[in-house]
Amino acid sequence: MRGLHTVLRWLAARPYIYAIGITVLILGWMLSGGQSQEDSTAMQAPGNENSVPVQSQDKAPVPKVRITTFAAEPVFRSLTLYGKTEPSRQATIKAEVAGRVVDVIAQRGSLVKEGQIIARLAQDDWPEQLKRAKAVLKQRQIEYDGAKRLNEKGFQGRVLLAQTEADLVDAQTTIATLTLKLEKTTIRAPLSGILNERMVEVGDYVQVGDPVGNIADINPLVVRADVTETDIQHIRLGQEAEARLTGNHAATGKVRYLSKVANETTNTFRIEVAFDNDELHLLAGTSAELVVPIEETEAIKVTPAVLALDEAGNLGVKTVEKDHVVFTPVRVVKSDGDGTWLGGFSGVVDVITVGQGFVRPGDRVEAIRMEN
């Protein structure tokens, strides 16, 4: 025991001996671990008799997607425009002579025919003036005939003959003027249509040029819209077009007007499409969506849910070719209530309809076909 205490005192006086010992132990442990790793590697190496087989990792499963086969078919690419319905023509009726309104015939909102009486003005003493003018005309005619016979016999000069002729023409003019005034006291419709507004009532006094009423012809009904300089090239006169009107009304008409001069502000061209409105159930002044077919192309009809964007932001669909995903760019030809027509295809194509959001172009997939 005494010798042990002597050794411990000797070591306490020399602490570096502990540090050296600890370092040797750590190095020995590290060297023994590396050797063990080499031995383990050697055991796993191919051809080593003592090698232990390592279980290989399982391959990643191939994702499954559902595809639907679509066959491209010819459809018309349509141009969708937005405009308003307007009367085919309209006119404001104005008084052509001054007078008091003594009778109103047509009711506001009623259908009137061209030439139908709208209102009447007081004739005052114009009938009596016309009667007197006709009597004066007879007198002037007798005077002219007498002067003409005397002139032919040489008893009347040419100056007097010319004077009597001028008096005769003046009497004829007076009759024509009075007759026209009397006719204009009866205000008539200048065209057939709806008496949309009537601005006078019995007892009103109107001056020349005062508005009496407004007539709008809504058969045919017209939809006016603006077209870009690119699309106007594909539209022609007489071409059919469809309109979707307020209240779910649909109508088919024909292009009746194409502007030849662009609007300076918008650089667009005005077009008009006329629609039959025999029953007058289509109203003017409502919003309208105009669909004009402009060219035929091949397309497939799908639900908007299959549409996708690539990394560049291009619109397209994901298809399957030889068990691999392919991104196919498309363009929207037209949209219906039950689907969207996509151009850019020809023949038959397999479109991924379920699972397209979990695969990327180039991925290998297992395609499960669905009925279209």
- What is the full per-residue pLDDT of the chain (372 aa) written as tens digits? 555 566 556 656 666 665 676 766 666 666 665 444 444 444 444 444 444 444 444 566 888 889 889 988 888 888 889 999 999 999 999 999 999 999 999 999 999 999 999 999 999 999 999 999 999 999 999 988 888 888 877 766 788 888 988 999 999 999 999 999 999 999 999 999 999 999 999 999 999 999 999 999 999 999 999 999 988 988 999 999 999 988 778 899 999 999 999 999 999 999 999 999 998 888 999 999 999 988 788 888 888 888 888 888 889 999 999 889 999 898 888 777 778 888 888 889 899 988 888 888 988 988 888 876
Please tell me the predicted confidence (pLDDT) of residue 48.
47
What's the token pair of residue 241?
Answer: 């077009």
pTM above 0.85, yes or no: no
Spatial CA neighbour of 198 closest among 103, 113, 118, 95: 118
| Cα separation values, 299 from 196, 228, 271, 307, Å | 46, 24, 28, 14
Cα–Cα dist 282/225, whole Å: 17
94-212, CATH topology level? OB fold (Dihydrolipoamide Acetyltransferase, E2P) (2.40.50)
Please tell me the predicted confidence (pLDDT) of residue 194.
95
Please tell me the predicted confidence (pLDDT) of residue 151.
80
User: What residue ranges in the chain does DSSP mark as E strands?
Assistant: 64-71, 73-94, 99-104, 111-112, 117-121, 186-188, 193-198, 205-206, 211-228, 240-245, 249-258, 268-275, 287-302, 307-309, 315-321, 324-329, 331-336, 339-343, 348-354, 366-370
Q: Could you tell me if 368 and 352 are in contact, meaning their C-beta atoms sit under 8 angstroms apart?
A: no
Cα–Cα dist 181/258, whole Å: 41
Could you tell me whether strands 99-104 and 205-206 are parallel, antiparallel, or unpaired per DSSP bridges? antiparallel
Domain chopping of the chain, boundaries: 2-44, 65-76+297-370, 80-87+214-294, 94-212
Q: Could you tell me if 317 and 342 are in contact, meaning their C-beta atoms sit under 8 angstroms apart?
A: yes
pLDDT digits (tens, 9 = 90+) for 330-366: 888 877 777 888 888 888 989 998 888 888 898 898 8
Could you tell me whether strands 249-258 and 240-245 are parallel, antiparallel, or unpaired per DSSP bridges? antiparallel
Please tell me the predicted confidence (pLDDT) of residue 248.
78
65-76+297-370 placed in CATH 2.40.420.20: yes
Q: Could you tell me if 281 and 246 are in contact, meaning their C-beta atoms sit under 8 angstroms apart?
A: no
Q: Could you tell me if 113 and 189 are in contact, meaning their C-beta atoms sit under 8 angstroms apart?
A: yes
Could you tell me whether strands 315-321 and 307-309 are parallel, antiparallel, or unpaired per DSSP bridges? antiparallel
| Cα separation values, 132 from 137, 139, 149, Å | 9, 11, 26
80-87+214-294 placed in CATH 2.40.30.170: yes
